[in-house]
Structure 1
Amino acid sequence: MSDKRPVDIKRERGGSVNIGTEDDGAILEMYNLGGRMLVIKEKAIYELRFADDIDPNRENPDLPPSTQKLILPLGTTSEMFSRTFLTARRLFKPEYFTIPFDVNVALSLSLEVIQELAALDGEITDYLAAEKKASDEYEERKQKKLDHAVPSITDIKTRCKTIFQKVDHVSQAQIEIVRLFFPDFSKQSYYGKFLEYIEQNHSDKVQFIEFLKGIVPFIELTRNIRNCLDHRRTETQIKDFELQQNLDILTPTIEIEYLTSKLDRIALASFLPVVKDNLVTIFENMLAHLCSNVLKPDRIMPSRLLIIPEEKRINKFIKFAYWSALGEGGFYHQ
């Protein structure tokens, strides 16, 4: 006679589950990230949890066999997702490294980065739509000669504060990944001090130093903008639509002169998309530099980290992979 309880029988019997919707596309990968089962589809990521994960002692027989939660409405067809999380997923291979490396922490931070980037992208898209709507309404009134009301985005400073908070969150998560590769770098220091640290302690990493010299001013600029907006400092100026003496309307702008950062007055509609694009580019290249600097030289089949020729890429948006001298032209581990 079986001593299994009804809840045991329910939990242990076979079954199937549909993840997400058909609009999400196919499931291309399932990955256990520190106890979280991530289901990566073409257009979305879900977290799948089984009843035993929630109720390991099997005390509640009414729990469904599994539950799912949308983590991100982006998947393998997204350029931004591919260049960030999927690139991290491919490059964070502890077996290649000369240092101890917690891949679960690194990938959790990378997931945080893409979640912040997705939210940032939404905020910027919403801002651009609001600016266009205000401009279009003004032009319509102007053509109909209804009035001379200057267009306005009444919450423009609040929008910008939210945007640059998310920008800084991306940079914060990224520096935590950096610390996994350089654990003796001070937890109280930021990117400017990290450049000094590398120059003083790893002067042989010439390419990495040049890369950091190129990105640190941008990261410090975005952090200084965030700090000024958070603390209502006047060194950063966000200006709404402005009527000029010649009756032209100047679209919203941003400018800053604070500490080491100076940005001449520039249209927000031009600046914000560049900020987002720079964050993505910096992140994927940061991963490549960090990983290439710790590759084992004594592997049976030594590997290098290279840019994959476009015609050989499995995912057209992921440009980096480990390369081994196997066969004609070598082999890219994708």
Structure 2
Amino acid sequence: MEVGSPDIPITGMVKIGDRLHILKTDSIHRITLADDIDPERTNINVPNSQQKVLDVGSGSPLVGKTLLTAKQLFESGFLGNQFDKGKAIDLSFEALKNLTAMFEQASVFRDQDEEEEKRVSEQVVKNRTFVLPSAPDVERRCKEFVQSADHALQALFGIGGLFYGDKIKGWFEGLADEISRLHEGDAHYIGFMGDAAKFCKSMRITRNCIEHRKPNERVEILNYTLTPANELLPPMIAVHHPKFIQPKMPVSTYTDQVTNHIADTFEQMIAFMCSRNVDRSVGLPMTVVELPTDQRSNQFVKYSFGIDAGGQVIPAG
């Protein structure tokens, strides 16, 4: 079966849910076999089928930091038979889908800012009138972005539940507390989780503010505006809440930073969780190592199980 453009190579395969998915450098495709559509084979004319599910592939940092890092760690065999690797992969893909939507929104905001900045610089003021540009549906798009961010973090929290149980309350703060209790003295892990929990809480507060606006709990979103100094400001966003303040900043900058931060948080958190939960039956000092760039099968997948032999990284497998 030829998948997608023949000019773009297939770089990998992963099972997500009950379907095989093919990764290419620029896309991900779901494969459905005829037997899956018609298990009894009542119609011999039912074909195998393929469907593009994402317009990003193994050449994307987002795919590398989420789905491919998850595949490399969760399918390693070092987490024990009790670990639900299938569910972990599914949640990783859910996070990736939301991060991809966020990335697309951030790109649109960034491109429009660049285009409008160029256009405005060439605009001539006539009769003391200046035509301000406008970002269509900026409030709705910001709301969708924040909701996607929350969904991506919810998927990551679900992975945490596979390691530490699904009864944890208090979202990432509760998860960080449980990790502090179980890994007492592990300052690096505990410190990372504490910082991650604060960030995740700020995103949950932002989501609540945008969905349940109150006078002192709100997200402020402004379209293009002109300052008294005759400077054009791009769309801006700010969060006002008694427990979290996000100072006003360009929407394009905010969406770009949040997307990258969640992708980095996902990558580092699953690496920490895997390294601290190696199955005892392995019998080797196995941990998660950061691979040198010349040892990576994909430049965006830097974590793997392995052994740190006095500073020399020996990857598993």
Is the TM value for this pair above 0.5?
yes
SS in 2 for 1:22: coil
Shift of 1:36: 0.8
Counterpart check, 1:192 vs 2:173: yes
- Distance, in Å, in 2 between the alignment partners of 1:262 and 1:143 is 37
Contact 2:16 2:93 in 1 (8 A): no
- Residue ranges of structure 1 left out of the alignment (5+ in a row): 1-16
Structure 1 residues 331 and 246, CA, compared in 2 at 3 Å: closer, same or farther?
A: closer
Aligned to 1:125: 107
Structure with higher Rg: it is: 1
Aligned to 1:214: 195
Structure 1 residue aligned with 2:251, among 243, 264, 268? 268
- Distance, in Å, in 2 between the alignment partners of 1:300 and 1:252 is 56
RMSD over aligned Cα atoms: 2.5
SS in 2 for 1:317: coil
Aligned to 2:6: 22
Identity among equivalent pairs (%): 26
Shift of 1:114: 0.9
Counterpart check, 1:56 vs 2:43: no
SS in 2 for 1:142: coil
Deviation by residue 1:155-190 (Cα, 9 ceiling, x = unmatched): 21111101111111100111001000011542x531
Structure 1 residues 88 and 36, CA, compared in 2 at 3 Å: closer, same or farther?
A: same
Larger deviation, residues 130-139 vs 237-246: 130-139
Aligned to 1:309: 292
One-letter amino acid of the structure 2 residue matched with residue 19 of structure 1: V
Deviation by residue 1:288-331 (Cα, 9 ceiling, x = unmatched): 011011113452443221111223222111111111479x9452
Counterpart check, 1:150 vs 2:122: no
| Pairs within 5 Å for 1:7-46 | 17-23=1-7, 25-46=8-29
Structure 1 residues 266 and 125, CA, compared in 2 at 3 Å: closer, same or farther?
A: same
One-letter amino acid of the structure 2 residue matched with residue 283 of structure 1: F
One-letter amino acid of the structure 1 residue matched with residue 314 of structure 2: F
Larger deviation, residues 176-185 vs 274-283: 176-185
SS in 2 for 1:31: strand
Counterpart check, 1:109 vs 2:109: no
Under a length normalisation based on structure 2, what TM-score does the superposition of the two structures give?
A: 0.90
Deviation by residue 1:28-47 (Cα, 9 ceiling, x = unmatched): 32333443111122222211
- Residue ranges of structure 2 left out of the alignment (5+ in a row): none
**Matched pairs, number:** 315
One-letter amino acid of the structure 2 residue matched with residue 78 of structure 1: S
Deviation by residue 1:238-258 (Cα, 9 ceiling, x = unmatched): 122222222222222222231
SS in 2 for 1:179: helix
Aligned to 1:14: none
Counterpart check, 1:255 vs 2:230: no
Structure 1 residues 259 and 216, CA, compared in 2 at 3 Å: closer, same or farther?
A: farther
Structure 1 residue aligned with 2:303, among 283, 302, 320? 320
Contact 2:224 2:234 in 1 (8 A): yes
Shift of 1:231: 2.0
Contact 1:296 1:302 in 2 (8 A): no
Under a length normalisation based on structure 1, what TM-score does the superposition of the two structures give?
A: 0.86
